[in-house]
Amino acid sequence: MRLVDANLPFQVVYSTFHHEYLGYLISAHVVQILPNGELSLVHQGLHPDSMSQFEEGLTEHDAQLIRLITEISPRQVVKRFGGNPRDEHGFFTTRFTGEIIKLVDDYIQKRLGKIFPQLIHSPIYEMGNDGYPAQYKIEALEEPASVLFHFRRKEEFTRYYPTIKLNGEKIDWQKKGAVLLCTQPAWMLLDGKLFTFSPEVDGKKLRPFLKRENIIIQADKEDEYYRKFVTQIVEKYPVFPKGFEILDHRAKPSFHLTVKEHDQSSFSFIREVDYEGFRFPLDPFNPAKAIYERENQEIRFHRIHRLFEEETEICQFFEKITPNKNSLTPWEYVNKEKGLAWLSTHTEEIKEAGISIRQENPQYQLNLNRPSIELNTKEEGDWFDIQAVVVIGEFRIPFIKFRNHILRGQREYTLPDGSIAILPDEWFSDYRHLLEVSETREDDILSIRKYQAPLLNFPSQPSKTREKLVDALKQVDEIPEIDPPQGLKAQLRNYQQAGFNWLYFMKENGMGAILADDMGLGKTLQTLSLLLKEQESGITTPTLVVLPTSLIHNWKNEAQKFTPALKIYIHTGVNRIKDPAIFQDYHLILTTYGIVRQDITYLQTFPFHYIVLDESQMIKNPESKTAKAIRKLISRHRLSLTGTPIENTVMDVWSQMAFLNPGLLGNESFFKRFYVGPIEKEHDVRRSAKLRRIIYPYILRRKKQQVEKQLPARIEKLHFCGMAEPQKDLYEETRSTYRNYLLELINQGAWKKNKLNILTGLQKLRQIAIHPQMIEPENYQLEDSGKYQEVKRLLRQILTKKRSKVLIFSQFVKMLQIIKSDLEKEGIPFAYLDGGTKDRQKQVDNFQEDQSLKVFLISLKAGGVGLNLTAADYVFILDPWWNPAVENQAIDRSHRIGQTRTVFYYKFITEESIEEKILKLQQRKSQLSDDIIQIEEDVYKSLNEVDLGVLLQ
């Protein structure tokens, strides 16, 4: 069989054909055109997979049609309804029965109903018996035909039949063998002409008359037939009756909503339209409504001509407020609680739309007046007293009477006259939290603590009332300027001064606070400024700072650098003194979360001035032993520092606030029911907004881009890390071995000859200071490196930011491989570049362009120069290099022309290791000459016995 040549003229044609089981279908083909312009016998089928061969001759209209036609091809039908496309015959002879036939027919007819309107201006043919697709040309008529149904009612029977007219002329369609190609709606083929109808006709109403001239209904069945079938015909189509009447009515409609109580658990809301006494459901919508009426032997139909625009407007109104949107019965059997809430919310709106509300059950009368609340507050020392009255029509009832209803979620409240008031839905959101945590100090008066003032911010209250209620919060945005402490050895940037002011304000007002600035913005400095200010004001009671182990040394270094007047005590280690009395002689007590958990028995007996939690997400699980221990500590003031106030779940917020402001968010079970479930499972936007309103005064969060103008273009930070215990043991063992070896060589005068062995030892110490897995991968875990714990902690914060990316440099490929393996396990995408990378530019381009790619692992030698990586705004230097110039080259990969953001450069130094000593050696060498060190290898050559001894101390 020859196929159509796409390089020669061809034409797209559409063919009707009859399938043994599926009836009439449509197929698409291309036919080669002869030199004389006529269609040849060379043809082939068209489907989505073959369209590309003929794309120059296809329009977008053709492409859409071909895709739609393919959906009803026998092969696709078999596949869609669970058969094997390779065995069509088997499907149709075994499975194509009963309900499957109905489903398939409905599926095909719906798609044919979409296809035929698009075929009118396309070449249409009848397929020949030999499969030739252009056998007989079909003419699509633009003028629609009309149908008139004739009914002849006699004493014994009723006879009815349809007639079809085109351009006013009656068509003898039954005798000439008309074919229904589609039934939804009807498309008819007769004498090579394709007919459609106006108004649209259900082809199933015409199908019986293809084989018979009329249908007879016997008198004993006419009542049911007229009621069910003839009523539909009268509503939708022109009818010529004999033996009964059709009375036409035209009137203005009115609209009604009837509340029907089914049982104790559900309502139905019946939407009706009334045309001067003729009342019927508002949907389904037809141009007319026929009402059957019989009196003895007299039959008549009332045909009410409906006003489309007015009914549509009301239908659209109801559609917007549907009570059961996702239900198969959106207006019926609506859960009673849900129905009451819906009715309470929309009663006024329904009445304003001109719709009357009727209650069907006289024994259960709802009071449809919308309840409102009059609220007044009064500040009494550390308390707010709340006096509230509920107004429902003529009734004024103290709000406290509704407390149990709101706490139990009960919307029905019985009024003094016996009618039922429906409490508004928003009350259960707005006031539930307040009623959960408030106390009753006097009759009809609720009281809350001053730091719970945000609970009085109700968006549902009128604006004037709300303004009164939140007066106490306004000053949060108008915080007074406070002079920094005199002994502070730093110049606070503007945003840091604002943060210091805010921390001082929160302390003065007795409110626990979360400082949640982005990493690198100086949370530690702002906190130390506050604590030094307290010390200078005469506060002698010590502050407890609780930290991850890896941050102890960092805090000690920053405190010594910026606030040297603060005396520091580090409460860690196996041999720590377990007597809180020792704290009295210090201003800052630094300890870890693990130590607090272990020592809580006596730590909870000491009243601190402040308790500061750094990386406070460590208490995010309120059920953890750590979180429970932290909540037992005693202090006048409390402060949390974190770059990620919410890591995984809304429950993180409760755990933080339970420490900072106990009682603000209620107890744990209430918070889970009222906030966690609705926000995380139901995506309740209102509940989320309420929680945000309550906690916003206690959280100060500035992102880097908000304060970018106040930052220098590049911020460099030495980030000191303590060693993990296994790391420390391995380091000390290795250091001791090589130091003894060096001393022995010096005594023998042989150290120069064996210098390479000593340098090998230095290299091992450098690797252990980064991660002991680099030396003994089998014996150590990821967490056995204090430095790696810090790298991962900061990396997690960067991964939560939408715009931020990080370059991670190490001169050790082994270390990059450790990180690479860890990132792969966690499913974190990254770019990678070392000396063995072949697609260097691809890695760079991916990192620069792909926003989801936030991490780039780079080795010193492979990526220290020649790369433009301005997408990064964080640079991690995992190990100090002998040559500072090489570090600057690494930083300059991101800090160069094209960079529009501040670059934060973290140089990770393992404390009390060779890395600290390298820093000092760098400084000493560079003081001799700026260019004394050119490359790292030169430093090795220049080390003398004194330098080596210092490095191995």
- Which H or E run contains 819? helix 813-826
pLDDT band, very low/low/confident/very high, at 754 (cuts 50, 70, 90): low
Q: Distance between CA 205 and CA 190 in Å, rounded?
A: 17
pLDDT for residue 421 is more than 50 = yes
- Which H or E run contains 199? none
Taken in order 597, 600, 601, 603, the sign of the CA dihedral is positive
Residue 626 carries which DSSP code?
H
What SS3 class is residue 449? strand
Q: Which residues contact 601 (CB under 8 A, 6 or more apart)?
A: none
pLDDT for residue 535 is more than 90 = yes
According to the model, what pLDDT value does residue 462 have?
A: 46
According to the model, what pLDDT value does residue 465 have?
A: 39
Residue 426 CB coordination number (10 Å): 17
According to the model, what pLDDT value does residue 930 have?
A: 39
- Digit-coded pLDDT (tens) for 548-568: 887 888 899 899 999 999 999
Q: Which residues contact 615 (CB under 8 A, 6 or more apart)?
A: 547, 548, 551, 641, 642, 793
Lowest-confidence segment of 237-241, 288-292, 482-486, 735-739 by average pLDDT: 735-739
pLDDT for residue 629 is more than 90 = yes
pLDDT for residue 580 is more than 70 = yes
**Integer angstrom CA distances of residue 869 from 421, 540, 708, 803:** 65, 50, 19, 14
Q: Classify residue 98 as exposed, middle or buried by CB count within 10 Å of its CB (0-12, 13-18, 19+).
A: exposed
Residues 451-479 have a mean pLDDT of 55
According to the model, what pLDDT value does residue 946 have?
A: 63
Residues 493-516 have a mean pLDDT of 90
Q: Distance between CA 428 and CA 338 in Å, rounded?
A: 13
Q: Which residues contact 172 (CB under 8 A, 6 or more apart)?
A: none
Q: Classify residue 254 as exposed, middle or buried by CB count within 10 Å of its CB (0-12, 13-18, 19+).
A: middle
Q: Which residues contact 842 (CB under 8 A, 6 or more apart)?
A: none
What is the average pLDDT score of the chain?
85
Q: Distance between CA 558 and CA 525 in Å, rounded?
A: 8
Q: Classify residue 582 as exposed, middle or buried by CB count within 10 Å of its CB (0-12, 13-18, 19+).
A: middle
Find out whether 344 and 370 touch, Cβ atoms under 8 Å: yes
pLDDT band, very low/low/confident/very high, at 215 (cuts 50, 70, 90): very high
pLDDT for residue 860 is more than 80 = no
Find out whether 558 and 723 touch, Cβ atoms under 8 Å: no
DSSP string, 408-435: HT--EEE-TTS-EEEPPTTHHHHTHHHH
Residues 797-810 have a mean pLDDT of 86
DSSP string, 271-304: EEEEETTEEEES-S--SEEEEEEEETTEEEEEEE
Residue type, 733: E
According to the model, what pLDDT value does residue 911 have?
A: 87
**What does the block give as tokens for 489?**
């050895």
According to the model, what pLDDT value does residue 891 have?
A: 67
Q: Which residues contact 590 (CB under 8 A, 6 or more apart)?
A: 545, 547, 552, 555, 556, 568, 569, 570, 571, 572
Residues 746-761 have a mean pLDDT of 70
According to the model, what pLDDT value does residue 473 have?
A: 46
According to the model, what pLDDT value does residue 755 have?
A: 67
**What does the block give as tokens for 83?**
């058969």
**Integer angstrom CA distances of residue 250 from 294, 313, 438:** 21, 19, 61
Residues 876-887 have a mean pLDDT of 75
* Percent of the chain with pLDDT strictly greater than 90: 40
Residues 20-41 have a mean pLDDT of 93
Residue 197 carries which DSSP code?
B
Residues 834-861 have a mean pLDDT of 85
* Percent of the chain with pLDDT strictly greater than 70: 89
pLDDT band, very low/low/confident/very high, at 927 (cuts 50, 70, 90): very low
According to the model, what pLDDT value does residue 928 have?
A: 38
According to the model, what pLDDT value does residue 455 have?
A: 76
According to the model, what pLDDT value does residue 747 have?
A: 66
pLDDT band, very low/low/confident/very high, at 238 (cuts 50, 70, 90): very high
Residues 293-298 have a mean pLDDT of 90
According to the model, what pLDDT value does residue 515 have?
A: 93
According to the model, what pLDDT value does residue 528 have?
A: 97
**Sheet order of strands, 699-700 included:** 568-570, 588-592, 543-547, 607-614, 634-641, 513-515, 699-700
pLDDT band, very low/low/confident/very high, at 377 (cuts 50, 70, 90): confident
According to the model, what pLDDT value does residue 647 have?
A: 65
Residues 583-610 have a mean pLDDT of 95
Lowest-confidence segment of 497-511, 620-634, 679-693, 764-778 by average pLDDT: 679-693
According to the model, what pLDDT value does residue 329 have?
A: 83
Query: In which residue are the tokens 């032997």 written?
Result: 297
Query: Most distant CA pair in the chain: distance in Å?
Result: 136
Find out whether 384 and 377 touch, Cβ atoms under 8 Å: yes
**What does the block give as tokens for 165?**
């007219």
Strands 157-166 and 146-153: antiparallel
pLDDT for residue 1 is more than 70 = no
pLDDT band, very low/low/confident/very high, at 952 (cuts 50, 70, 90): low
Peptide bond into 185 cis (omega under 30): yes
Residues 536-550 have a mean pLDDT of 92
pLDDT for residue 365 is more than 60 = yes
Q: Distance between CA 253 and CA 311 in Å, rounded?
A: 8
What SS3 class is residue 902? coil
The alpha carbon of 105 is separated from its chain's Cα centroid by a whole number of angstroms, namely 40
